A and B are shown apart, each in its own frame.
Chain A
Amino acid sequence: MAEINEMGLFQEDDHRVAYIFTAAPTTATTASPNTTATATTTTTTTKGARGRPTKRRKLLKKGTGAQQLDDDDDDQDTTREQQLQDGQDGEDGEGCTQWPRLFDGAESVAAAGLRREVYESAWPVLEKEIETVLREANRQTLDDVVGFLNSEVHEHEGKGRVPAGFIITGPNIAGQDLLFGQLGDALRETGEGVRFVRLRAGEVGNLKGGLKRIVREGMNTGEKEGEEGEEQVRVGGRNGRRYLDYDLEALRVFMQQKGKGGRVIVAFQDSEAFDTGLVGELVGLFHSWQDRIQFSVLFGIATSVELFQARLLKSTARQLYGAQFDVVQANAVLESVIMAAVAGTKAQLRIGPGLLRKLVRRQQEQVAGVGAFVSSLKYAYMNHFYANPLSVLLADGQKLDKEILQPEHLEAVRMLESFKSHVEQAVEEGKLDHARMLLENDSYLKVRISRQAAERQRYLGKLLQSLALVTATELSKRSFIGLYEAALEEGIFLDHSPGPFDLGDAIKRSTPEELIGLINRITAVIVDGNPSLHWKGMNSDQDAKTAVNKFEGLRADVERLIEKSKENKTSLQSKYSSQSKVLRTTVVAQKVQLSRDTATLTEEDNAFTEAIDCFFAFFKDLVGCEPLSSLFLHEVWQYDYHLPYEDVFVPRPGGTFARALTRPHDYLGCACCDKANGSAVGTLPATSILYHLYCEAGALINVADLWAAYYALVGEDSEIGMDERSALVHFYRGLAEMRAMGFVKQSKKKADHIAKLKWL
């Protein structure tokens, strides 16, 4: 048995196509699932399964399938055991220990547990929030579709045809699930006898399968009565007649018994992926049954109705009668998602401007659907709380008692960029004591740290208030996302003239009516806040009241001025809006004379100008914010790293392969190839040498030439001095690896040649 085991191991290793370098050969080379599970889940457990020996595979001479299953079961068992143990540990009061302890293991268990707790309170809130936003976005479409299906239009106009709703979902296939789920719920609510059947191309292979599904779901949705039906033939009907399970007659009888003339709505969720013939046949069937069962169909279309129609048979098209519905597209949804989940008050972690820009850009250029954005967001959260020990500082004040902060935490804080700049600033300002205390006195630093939570709240309040007010003016040309990015990166300064927030000119140029509208919108925002940001208006009543009073006074002034100017039959204008300087042209003796004339402003005009100035001054009081990076300890609650995100979500396998093969010594860390620096040297692994040669070759490579070139590098004449036999072995191995990686293949054009496959 042991021998067999040994052999099995050997073979497993042997079949591995590419050479994988394992940096730390301490773990067993056969990475059985069991050991990996242990590694991830119990790094911090002191007891538990660490000391367990690696599981031996049972090798039976019979089929391997059973053994595989057995193995999997065992693995599951072990993980379950471990989870149980972990749970018990948690109850013991040591906190959840599944997260690794950072600071090279020096982090206390409580701190790690607290990090985990913070993460678990931060992310699910957002996830729920995002789902609400997405659901809300679909509402309009839902109402339209339900309205169309329930309307009587198709009774007379599309007589004898199958009513069909074409829902343009866009290429966001992942979003279709949610939409159709909602649709089903909404439609079932509308009537007793409504049966909603979702068909997905993956699940419905042929006509029979589709009909089976329709019949089964059509009979199950009402009450759970049809369940007694067998798989093959279903018992239905009052005389107990058995129907084939793809017979729509069964459905008809069932629905007749239920009474009230129910209807069946069949939704083709991803119409493009369906076989066109299948759709045609199903529609033909529905059409032919239309006088007995009232069918309606819905198509989720990712491209356009025209393209979809071009694929349908014309006879099928003739049997359909429908309307087109649009779904709010991903780009529009993205903004509301960002407002709710990134910028809003519920977001614990701030996604830094750089990463946010990257995410948004990827969303617009590469990805269809918000799903990718949401998972990137989640990944950022996970990364922050999992890998940044300082993220524990985000916890509530009560939980974050001073015992939890270890010397390591303080040391890490002192390493922060923002700490350094803060201290430098303090030194420049002459607050030497403060700087010294920060650097040397631990308890002083702890106090400062605990004070930062309030500071953070204040900053966020100000940021959101500014953003809400700026968007309320409706004067900025940038989208909300752009404004938010700019606010984080550069801060909000209304004075900076060429900048994202230079609203000064636009505000000053506004007419009296526009100004009144502006005041109305702004007061509304001050009082009610911005619901999509979850910002609830200015928090202290005192401030809000004074601000509103100021603005209302202004509005009354402006209204009075308008009245007055109406009486005088002049139009009210300000210094900024009127063309105060008029260029006059006079023709005197065939010569053009230019003269400047200053239009005079009336008394009211001057008053209005004053009002505008006054308004702008108030507005400036309320709007304004520092860039995020200027804040002390902002690293604790800001995440702005591209690299892990890019590596995970946008991997570049081609580039990685090329780099690994060109400069393997960067990864191997061996001393022999230090001087290679990207060129072909004999000490490189054979595959790497071959790759270098491969890059220099043309489309067809003569293997004999390749061998000659290779041998020249490693052969007896070179520094390596390998004998021909072992060189040949290495050569063959390298070539096989190249083939396995898809770089070359056997050419049929010429004997003894291989064709180059990879160009990009």
Chain B
Amino acid sequence: MTVPIFELPDELRLSLITKQFPCREPQIRALATLLNPSSAPCRNLVVYGTEATGKTAITTALLASLDGDSLRHVIVNSIECITARHLYETVVGKVAAALEWEAVPPRCESVSQLTVSLSKMLKYTERPDGFRFVLVFDGIDHQREAPHTLLPALARLSEIIPNLTTLFILTSPPPNNLLTTFTPHLHFPTYTKPEFISILSLTPPPPITPTTTPSETLDLYTRFIAAVHDSLSRSASRTLPSLTQACHTLWPKFTLPILNRTHTVKEFTKLIVLARVHFQDESLLDPTLSLSPPSSSLTPNPVKTTDLANLLPTTARFLLLSAYLASHNPTKTDLTLFSTFHHGRKRRRGGFSSGVGGGVAGGGRGGRKKGSQHRKIARKLLGAHAFVLERMLAIFMAVRTEWDPASRGRIRNGVVEGGEEEVDNDVYMSIATLASLRLLVKVGGGGDVTDLGGKWRVAVGWEVVRGLGRSVGVEVEEWLIE
């Protein structure tokens, strides 16, 4: 029995896969030809393309359908391999499993040992004519702790073992790919707009109302996908999953007027205009930790107790606010802001409003408003600067009595008790708490945590700090030089 020299892969199998992965027919055919033992098997093959273009899925499906007596395959995912050695051992283990190799796979610490093991299993064992083994390295460019010779070494495997095909799946082709011996490359381009539409419209949503026909829904859905693609995907995100997610999220909002019976399925333009706000909202492309509410929280819980502002003890909150001020105010303004020298308790800038909130916009704050028209970028937008711990403590001591009248000591039966005029260990403990929560971050290594000269930076943003300030009755805005 002779194996024909050239034979195209089985059409039936291919058509199944092409149906499974629409808009990828040329790539599937090319891949099938290059892998099929009876077509044009090659030694090394590079499959590349950006994220979510179907490289791994198509390779897996195709190899699974080609798998048989004359072809065996193994797919090794580099993400799961922690070290290069781990990769080698995984390869050997998987190859042995695929070949139903009896012996216990040996330990494998380097590429040469890998070559020996693979040769033993593939080269020096009787195999039927035209047998090929396909070894797939998925995401090999993301391999951790990879020696820089890893890729060339793996590419040489197929030269040593003739019936081996090595397939590399990469995100982008290696930069020097034209300088080396020829390796076939197969590119998986990103999907185009018509392709996106045709893929997504394969799974149309159920009819919106019982009266709309499926074809009407499909028609509307197709136009809707195009609109979503134009408004969101083109500019911000180009992968299939994100577009799918965006469509799933937007579709209920988009079809709401139809459900309310104010518009019909035919009025696409009007629907678009109504849903314009949602289409401009790029935040839905932002992957968030999707949270499903725990089942027991059906009972309404109006007070959100897990707010950061409620979690921290008071001193820690003041310290965090002081750290924010130290991070965002230039040092030279400290005297103006915090010194009460010469002025009694009167502030030079800004009025300290107790509980009134922004009600004191006139008067003291007017001057700053005028000056602030010339500013370029608000300092709070520039991110946190590092500050010296001692400065933060000084700010803390300066504002503490003002923010927290209780710290001056409570008057009880005419006797002041519990006044805190100096830094005690509880303050350091609060600093340690904040540091362990990574709300305060030490900048630069070395030095003890309690070193007053150490540099720190605040790691929370403006929104959090504002909420935190309000929880203790402080409008942080009034203490910031913008």
Measured CB to CB, the residues of A under 8 A from B are 140, 143-144, 147-148, 151, 153-154, 157-158, 161, 164, 166, 168, 170-171, 173, 207-208, 211, 233, 239-244, 246-249, 270, 272-273, 284-285, 288-289, 302-305, 307, 309-312, 314-315, 317-318, 320-326, 329, 358, 361-368, 649-655, 742, 757-760
Contacts and interface: CB of A to CB of B under 8 A. Distances in A.
A307 B460 contact: yes
B240 to A, nearest CB: 13
Contact of A249 (B83, B93, B397, B461): B93
Contacts of B86: 244, 246-247
B287 A147 contact: no
A151 to B, nearest CB: 7
30 contacts: A144-B294, A147-B294, A158-B292, A168-B306, A171-B311, A211-B82, A240-B104, A247-B86, A272-B437, A285-B80, A288-B77, A288-B80, A303-B437, A307-B308, A314-B287, A317-B287, A321-B290, A322-B292, A326-B305, A329-B305, A329-B311, A358-B418, A366-B314, A650-B424, A652-B423, A652-B424, A654-B423, A759-B394, A760-B390, A760-B393
A605 B445 CA distance: 78
Contacts of A304: 306-308, 311
Given A166-B291, A307-B308, A368-B316, 18 more contacts: A143-B296, A168-B306, A285-B79, A288-B77, A288-B79, A314-B286, A315-B287, A320-B289, A321-B292, A323-B292, A324-B293, A324-B306, A325-B294, A358-B418, A365-B313, A366-B315, A366-B430, A757-B452
Contacts of A315: 287
Interface string B106-125: 01000000000000000000
A304 B311 CA distance: 9
B310 interface: yes
A273 B292 CA distance: 25
A722 B355 CA distance: 62
A119 B144 CA distance: 58
A757 B316 CA distance: 24
B422 interface: yes
Contacts of A140: 296
Given A170-B306, A170-B311, A272-B437, A305 B289 contact: yes
Interface string B264-295: 00000000000000000000001111111111
A312 B438 CA distance: 13
Interface string B424-457: 1110011001001111000000000000110000
A246 B288 CA distance: 30
B391 to A, nearest CB: 9
Given A170-B306, A285-B80, A757 B292 contact: no
Given A170-B311, A358-B418, A365-B313, A244 B437 contact: no
Given A288-B79, A760-B390, A166 B305 contact: no
Top 10 nearest A-B pairs (CB, nearest first) are: A318-B287, A366-B426, A168-B306, A365-B314, A652-B424, A170-B311, A655-B422, A323-B294, A272-B438, A366-B315
B85 interface: yes
Given A241-B104, A654-B423, A760-B397, A366 B313 contact: yes
Contacts, number: 178
A318 B245 CA distance: 11
B105 interface: yes
B298 to A, nearest CB: 12
Contacts of B453: 757
A760 B396 CA distance: 11
B64 interface: no
A650 B85 contact: no
Nearest to B461: A310
A364 B79 CA distance: 47
A651 B290 contact: no
Contacts of B422: 652, 654-655, 760
Interface of B: 77, 79-80, 82-83, 85-86, 89-90, 93, 104-105, 107, 144, 286-296, 305-308, 310-316, 390, 393-394, 397, 406, 418, 422-426, 429-430, 433, 436-439, 452-453, 460-461, 464
Contacts of A303: 308, 311, 437, 439
Contacts of A650: 424-426
Nearest to A281: B144
A157 B292 contact: yes
B413 to A, nearest CB: 10
Contacts of B306: 168, 170, 304, 324, 326, 329
Given A757-B452, A760-B394, A367 B436 contact: no
Contacts of A655: 422, 424
B436 A173 contact: yes
Contacts of A151: 295
B340 to A, nearest CB: 16
A652 B305 CA distance: 32
A315 B316 CA distance: 32
Contacts of B104: 239-242
Contact of A760 (B85, B296, B307, B423): B423
B312 A171 contact: yes
A759 B429 CA distance: 19
Nearest to A358: B418
A321 B287 CA distance: 11
A759 B338 CA distance: 15
A158 B433 contact: no
Given A157-B292, A366-B426, A207 B82 contact: yes
Nearest to A246: B82
A302 to B, nearest CB: 5
Contacts of A153: 292
A317 B82 CA distance: 21
A413 to B, nearest CB: 28
B98 to A, nearest CB: 14
A325 B314 CA distance: 23
Given A284-B79, A329-B310, A166 B289 contact: yes
A368 B433 CA distance: 8
Contacts of A208: 82-83
B363 to A, nearest CB: 33
A302 B316 CA distance: 13
A158 B288 CA distance: 13
A309 B289 CA distance: 7
A538 to B, nearest CB: 34
A485 B220 CA distance: 69
Contacts of A325: 294
A317 B311 contact: no
A208 B423 CA distance: 42
A322 B315 contact: no
A21 B437 CA distance: 40
A303 B311 CA distance: 7
Contact of A366 (B89, B308, B390, B429): B429
Nearest to A320: B289
Contacts of B296: 140, 143-144, 147
Contacts of A759: 390, 394
